[in-house]
Amino acid sequence: MDLIRSVRSTVVETLRSHSGAFCALSVGLCFGLLHYRYHSNLQDDVKYRRVQCLHDPDHCPTDPPETAPFQADFCYESTPSGDILFTGVFWPRYRLKKEVKGVVFFLHGYGSSVSGPVYEYCGRLAKMGYGVVACEYPCHGRSDGRYYVMISSYAMINIYTYIYMWSALIENVMGVLHKIRDKHFSVPGKRLKTFLFGESMGGAVALNMSRKYSYDGLILVSPMCKIAAETRPPIFMERLLMVLAFLIPTWPIVPSKDWSQWSCHDSELTAWLSLSPLYYSRLATGLQLLKVTENIEQMLCEFDDRMLILHGSGDVVTDPFHSKALFEKSKSKDKTLIFYEDQYHKLLSEPQVKHIVWEDIRIWLDNRNDDKFVQKANGIAQFVFRRSLD
């Protein structure tokens, strides 16, 4: 016992006399671990981009096959801040661009792009007779964004899924989408209606865009009105996040689970989603997403656009309860909320109900594109619960 006490007192005195060196060593070890995690995630960025390139020929061809019911064109457009965003334009195959029924701005989710499922979604909307404009957010897909110099190779690496300022993302996306719409779908003497279509985080983007510009309607699929409790870090981690985000904003050290297996009942899509190794959010991104969902929660009663909200009751990524809160509290005079029993987050691809979901979307879009129906639609507040077919 005396030996143990002697060793303990010796260690205590050593730490006291060398407290500065000990603190420096501790900080050095912590930053060394974070540095290793950061650079390994940069390699994940490169890996993910290679995965995208491998999938692009199959999931995002530059020229759709002649058998496809739509046409598509892809290009890069500059934003007001000088970044370059990858954009896609879709329209019905047997119509001129200026003969479309209306225009839909498709807003994808976090970490997504205009490849794979989003490409399919835009094609479906074009098949309905609408012109579709989509772009990949800054630091998403093939778009530009903030860069970091890798000291080991002095190579410039685009930091994937880095959202340093939400308001800048909104301004850049709005500017590009409006520019593309005016370039491809403007008709002299005729006003084409414009709708926002937001999936997951794209729902939050759509809600924020609707506060800055008047649109003819919003379609929100599994919208991120608030981050689900299951996907949020612990409270103490959130407090630490707020401090570290100002010091090391690009570091990917916000842990989150791999929700790909709970995203959809389609095993092929689940496997495709699981190819992304990015299960860590960057500090600044995590902070921005927390802030924007808190702001949306406080402004629910201020949204007054016509809206269609679609959500699966089994979604564990974005909480259906918050979609219901948006439906109940918004001032919109024309709002519809549809729940699909036991369905997951990627509602647009759910094998059991996707044909029903897309038919609900088509009917709502065509009706809101009809001025006569719109005049009669004021005062509609409809909640529908579609039960499982099993």
Q: Is-contact 157 50, C-beta < 8 A?
A: no
* CATH code, domain with 372: 3.40.50.1820
CA angle 25, 30, 36 (to 5 degrees): 125
Residue 276: the pLDDT is: 59
Q: DSSP secondary-structure letter at 229? A: G
Q: Is-contact 220 206, C-beta < 8 A?
A: yes
CA–CA gap between residue 200 and residue 221 (Å, rounded): 6
What are the strands, taking DSSP E only, across 117-217? 131-135, 147-150, 155-158, 194-199
CB atoms within 10 A of CB 375: 8
Q: How far is CA 72 from CA 118, 176, 278, in A?
A: 13, 17, 29
Q: Which is it for strands 131-135 and 84-92: parallel, antiparallel or unpaired?
A: antiparallel
The pLDDT tens digits along the chain (390 residues) read: 444 445 445 544 544 454 444 443 344 434 444 444 444 444 444 444 434 443 444 444 456 777 788 999 999 998 888 888 999 999 998 888 888 999 999 999 988 889 888 999 999 999 999 999 999 998 888 887 654 434 334 444 557 788 888 999 999 999 999 999 999 998 888 889 999 999 999 999 999 999 999 999 999 999 998 776 666 667 777 777 778 777 777 777 665 666 667 788 887 777 777 665 444 578 888 888 888 998 999 999 999 999 999 999 999 888 899 999 999 999 999 999 999 999 999 999 999 999 999 999 999 999 999 988 988 878 888 999 998 765
Residue 246: the pLDDT is: 74
Question: Structurally, how many domains does the chain consist of?
Answer: 1
> Is residue 262 packed enough to be buried (19+ CB in 10 Å), middle (13-18) or exposed (0-12)?
middle
Nearest to 118 by CA among 144, 78, 88: 88
Q: Is-contact 254 286, C-beta < 8 A?
A: yes
Domain that holds residue 77: 2-386
Q: Is-contact 162 282, C-beta < 8 A?
A: yes
Count CA atoms within 13 Å of residue 78 on its CB side.
3
